[in-house]
Structure 1
Amino acid sequence: MHELSVEVLMLHADHTGTWSYRHITVPPGPGESPDEAARRACGLAPGAQDSVVHSTSWRYDRERARVVLTYAVCPDPVPGASRTVLGDLPIARGSAPASPSPERIEVANVAAHAIQHLAFLMAADPVVGAALARRPAIAAALESCSPVLAGELGGAGARSFDRAAAAGR
C-alpha cells in the first residue's frame, strides 16, 4: 500500500523579484482531502481570498513508498517567516520520453516548477489571476516567468527559472 503525503510550498516574491519558500509535508487527516490538508498545514481557511492554494505537481517517493502531492500557496500566509531563497535552478526533467520522472529532484526544483505553474494560472485562470494581482511584487515576478505548462517545456523555447528573469532584468 502506498501512502499519500501533501507537500506545501509557501511562496514569496520580494520587490526585486527574488523568490523564496517555506516547505512542509503533512499526511491528510482521517476524512480530509488533500486540499484541506494543504490549507491546514499553512493555516488558511477554505474561503481565504488573499492566498492562492493550488496543486501543482505530484511525484513518487520510492524510498518511503509514498505519493507526494505538491501544493503551492502564494503568497506565504506568514509574511515574516524564515524562508529558503530560491536560487537559479532549472526545472527537473526525466531522461527519456518513456521515463518522465527525474532521477533526482530537490524541493527547490519543485518550487521552481510551482512558480511557473502559477505564472500560467495567473494568465489563464481569472480567479487565480485576480488573487495574485492583488500582490504587486508577486504579480510582477510571475509576469516575468514563462507561463507554460510542464508538458510544454523543452527544446529551444524552454528556459530555466532564474531570479534575473523573475525580476525582469
Structure 2
Amino acid sequence: MTDQIDAGLAPVSVETLMLRAAADGRWSYRRLTAALGRGESPDEVARRLAGLSVNEPSTVVHSTSWRHRPEGQIVLTYAVCPDPEPHLPAEELPVLHIAQGSAPAAPAPERIDTTNVASHAVRHLAFLMATDAVVRRALLNHPLIARTLEGLAPLTMARLEDIPA
C-alpha cells in the first residue's frame, strides 16, 4: 500500500520567517510559505518569498528546521534576518519557547506551532552569530539584532550541568 498525498498539498513546502528585534529584546516575525517548484531549490524559494537576491550582503537567509505534517508534507523553515520589510505587520514572540520531544528517541514534539518554530529560528541565529563568521559579519550590520542575538548566545550553548534533568 502506498501513502496518498492530497493533490492540492505540495509534498515539500518552504516557510520563511522574517525576523526582527525590538529595542526591549523581544522578537517578532512574519511568515510566508510557498510550494517548492520544479527546478527551484529551497534556498531560491526562501529568497523569492523574502524578495531578496542571492547577493544580499547584510541579510541572512538560513535554513533552521524542518518538520513533517500528518498529511504527508515536509515543511522546510528558513529564517530571514533582518526582516526586509519591517513596516509590515508581524506576530510578536513574547517568550522564546522551544517545543521538545518526549524522549531521546522521539525527537518530534507532540504539538508544534509557528511560535515554537520562530523561537527555534531565533535561537538558531544566536548560535550562528557565535559560531559562523559569514552570519556574524552580515548581522553586525544591524547593531540591535546583533546585540539581541549575542544576549541569547549563552542560552544556545548551555553547559550540560545547567540543563535540567
Q: 1:143 — aligned with what?
A: 150
Which structure has more RCO (C-alpha within 8 Å, separation ≥ 6)? 1
For residue 106 of structure 1, report the CA deviation from its aligned partner. Answer: 0.8
For 1:148 and 1:14, locate their aligned partners in 2 and report how far apart those are by CA, in whole Å: 19
Structure 1 runs (4+) greater than 4 angstroms displaced: 152-156
Which residue among 47, 60, 69 is the counterpart of 1:61? 69
> Percent of pairs identical after alignment?
52
Gaps of 5+ in 2: 6-10
Whole-angstrom distance in 1 between the partners of 2:97 and 2:105: 20
Structure 1 pair 123–153 and aligned structure 2 pair: CA distance change class (3 A): closer
In structure 2, C-alpha distance between the alignment counterparts of 1:20 and 1:131, rounded to whole Å? 19
The residue number in structure 2 matching 1:85 is: 92
Length-normalised TM-score, structure 1: 0.85
Residue 115 of structure 2 is matched in structure 1 by 108
Give the distance between the partners of 1:94 and 1:85, measured in 2 at CA: 24
Distance 2:154 2:135 in 1: 13
RMSD: 2.1
Cα distance in 2 for residues equivalent to 1:85 and 1:158: 27
Check if 1:44 corresponds to 2:49.
no
Q: Secondary structure at the match of 2:153?
A: coil
CA-CA distance at 1:156 after TM superposition: 5.7
Contact in 2 for aligned 1:120/1:146 (Cα 8 Å): yes
The 8 Å contact of residues 97 and 115 in structure 2, kept in 1 or not, is answered as no
What is the DSSP-based 3-state SS (H/G/I as helix, E as strand, rest coil) of the residue aligned with 1:145?
helix
Q: CA deviation at 1:147?
A: 5.4
Provide the rounded CA distance (Å) in 2 between the counterparts of 1:147 and 1:7.
Answer: 27
Equivalent residues, number: 156
Per the normalisation by structure 2, the TM-score is 0.87
The answer (yes or no) to whether the contact 2:14–2:76 under 8 Å persists in 1 is yes
CA contact (8 A) 2:96 2:120 kept: no
